[in-house]
Amino acid sequence: TAERDATPPCCLANTGGEDALVGNVNKLTVSPPGYTGPLRKGHLIFDACFESGNLGRVDYIGDFEFDLFIRPDTCNPRFRVWFNFTVENVRETQRVIFNVVNFSKTKSLYRDGMSPVVKSTTRPKWQRLPPKNVYYYRCPDHRRNYVMSFAFCFDREDDVYQFAYCYPYTYTRLQHYLASLERRNLPYLQREQLGLSVVSPRMKNDTSMWTNENVRSEKEKKLVFLTARVHPGESPASFVCQGVIDFLVSHHPVAQILRDHVIFKIVPMLNPDGVYLGNYRCSLMGFDLNRHWQDPSPWAHPTLHAVKQLIVQMNQDPSVSLEFYIDIHSHSTMLNGFMYGNVFEEEERVQRQAVFPRLLCQNAPDFSFSNTSFNRDKVKAGTGRRFLGGLLDDTSYCYTLEVSFYGYMTSVGTAAVPYSEEIYMKLGRNVARTFLDYYKLNNLTKDNRPTNIHW
């Protein structure tokens, strides 16, 4: 599959041993200790040396039980959440228990029914494991760390099985998607390379932007700026972002009106290196880019630096009105889609800021206005939402859009519905069409073409 095409730089891979946490396991065979005979079926072979892969170490506990260690983010051992690895050489009907023992977080949606995703060679569509096979608990054997254990029964000897924290969305997958958009030769669609990331020049992990410039000549061009995947492990953000783009390039009448009146600039992967490497939170150099908006450096945070420069420049352009900045993330402890916004002194601005999330709540059954909150925590001062909220004028709105890694509840007391890749994308389509509701409500577009077509 595309996810397995590319191999990370060899300095980041090793085959286990003392410093195994430095890199990913590379076709690591785990046979019983002291065993020296030929490789047998059931001696599992673990691998994470592929794009967005992450597994740092495997300990043999017994024939049926293995401790798995997440590889920490490159240059930043504090973050250990995302995992994505393959297992092969299985025996038919082999039952195993995998314990993921070194999460850096304690609170988790595993308690609410979240489970890892799995696919295999003959069943290539990702599925969530049954939650009844997943246990999350404080473990006395692991320094009272929180451990997530899951039971799994292999059933086909020739299959390669792949397990991940959530549905992967790799850099290569994005490139295929953007290339398919380019092949459509849409007259309003342009792709611009904003800059290259830090990873070796050979790989050229670029940060691309999708944009439609040819809006009707109005005295000020309305502009919406979206970014996603500043946090590389938050793969649901990519499905939401793709949903936004899919809608905007569609024949839907709402999309046509939006294209005529609003410029959308979309950076679908703000941290391509981190995504490529299988990090959860940081860039190659170990920076949480969403804490560096105040002063990004062109060499240490090149993608962020390029995006910020562009936004600052647009903000100074009198022919452009930058109205929305939305940064798409994914949340590891909350359910539903929801937003974070900024706090303002003037009540009227506070009210205006609540309009977009309220409208989105009407359009998207999985989006929760009651989970949406507005804050000015000190620790979040370096985020895009907070920094741009302070920079842009009072007619612009800056939000973080969060979507749960697990699921959503449509009303209190009901069971959570687990998100699929498709439902994440649908949230993106709903975000896109909400912009027209916003502009109609504010009488900012007089375009009265009919739009009430069921989507």
| Binding-site ranges for Zn ion (CB under 5 A) | 231, 234, 329
Query: 274 vs 302, which CB is nearer to Zn ion?
Result: 274
What token pair was written down for 137?
């608990």
Query: 119 vs 308, which CB is nearer to Zn ion?
Result: 308
> If we measure between CA atoms, which residue out of 167, 176, 178 comes closest to residue 235?
167
DSSP H helical segments within 147-218, as ranges?
171-183
Query: 265 vs 329, which CB is nearer to Zn ion?
Result: 329
Residue 223 phi/psi, 5° resolution?
A: -130, 135
Length of the chain measured in residues: 455
Q: Could you tell me what percentage of the chain is helix, strand and coil, using 3-state DSSP and rounding each to the nearest 5?
A: 30, 25, 45
**Quick check: is 402 catalytic?**
yes
C-alpha dist (Å) from residue 15 to 18, 50, 290: 10, 14, 32
Task: List the beta strands (DSSP E) in 165-248.
Answer: 190-196, 206-211, 221-228
What token pair was written down for 58?
């495997």
Catalytic residue among 88, 234, 323, 402: 402
Query: 43 vs 329, which CB is nearer to Zn ion?
Result: 329
Residue carrying structure tokens 């509840």? 409
Half-sphere exposure of 448 (CA within 13 A, CB side): 2
Query: 161 vs 338, which CB is nearer to Zn ion?
Result: 338
DSSP-derived secondary structure letter, 255 = H
What token pair was written down for 413?
């007391």
> If we measure between CA atoms, which residue out of 258, 269, 260, 43 comes closest to residue 170?
269
Three-state DSSP at 76 gives strand
Q: Which helix (H) or strand (E) holds 124?
A: strand 123-128
Query: 23 vs 272, which CB is nearer to Zn ion?
Result: 272
What token pair was written down for 227?
């970014």
In angstroms, rounded to a whole number, what is the distance separating the alpha carbons of residues 326 and 427?
14
Quick one: CA dihedral 138, 142, 148, 154, positive or negative?
Answer: negative
Task: Find the shortest distance in angstroms from Cβ 252 to Zn ion.
Answer: 29
Hey, which residues are catalytic here? 402
